Amino acid sequence: MTDQHDAFAALYDLQKMDDALLELLKQRRSLGKEAKTLAAQRAEADQRLEELKDAYKRAYLDHSKVESQLEAEQANLAEYQKKLLAAADAVEYTGFERQIRTTGNAVGLLEEDTIQLMLQMDAAKEEMENGEKERALFEKECVEKRKDLADHAKELERQIQGKKEERAQQAQKTPVQILKQYARWRKARNTSMIAKVVISDEKERGGAVVYACSECSMNIPPQTILETQTKPENQNCPSCSRILWPPKAPSAE
């Protein structure tokens, strides 16, 4: 039983290393997800800024177009006013007056449109400039976050390599047969195979010794503990089915 006890002790330490290694690998994968999320956020920020720039460009072009129309109508109005002064007769004078009224109305409407479009253009420009500032601040944050992620990834990689080296050394201390059994167990269940039996004295139970599974915390009957100490067959936890690694049986005096 001593050899089996030592083998279980070695494997128990090995599977704890495996659990720690899996946790480190999980953290490394989470860093990759964080990096992808950050990249997606940057892409969204870039798209939002491009939309603001496009909105300002459209507002600028709309304002420029109407402003050109206004300048053209103002030029026409000035021309009609000159012609009015040089009208040859009443009919011609009346015709120019009518054109001046029509063109004047058009100029007034275009002036109103120009003002509205100018306000829209200014608002779009302000949103764009604010968007550029926000994007610059966000990019600064992204640079810092990417650096933190890179540093964290480098540290995790160092820990992973160290843990792999420790595991390789620990595996050499574990019997080959039990390593094969453990490998099959891990592949089938993706969890630890050996559960250490935890012993505690509880006064509320009259000072009786209480045995529990270290993995699932369920109480183990004393009879099961006795069988693990006296029988060559492995005994399993009634709750989680892991193989129990019992305390050493007291030596007979």
Model pLDDT for residues 132-188, shown as the tens digit of each residue: 999 999 999 999 999 999 999 999 999 999 999 999 999 998 989 999 999 999 999
Q: How far is CA 137 from CA 9, 42, 96, 103, in A?
A: 54, 11, 60, 50
Q: Which residue has the tokens 């058009």?
A: 106
Q: Per-residue pLDDT for 253 more than 50?
A: no
Contact 28, 153 (CB under 8 A): yes
Other CB atoms closer than 10 Å to residue 14's CB: what's the count? 23
Q: In angstroms, what CA-CA distances link 234 with 132, 225, 241?
A: 68, 11, 11
Q: Is the pLDDT of residue 46 over 50?
A: yes
Report the percent of the chain where pLDDT is more than 90. 72
To the question of pTM greater than 0.75 for the whole model, the response is no
Give the residue from 219, 156, 214, 117 showing the smallest Cα distance to 22: 156
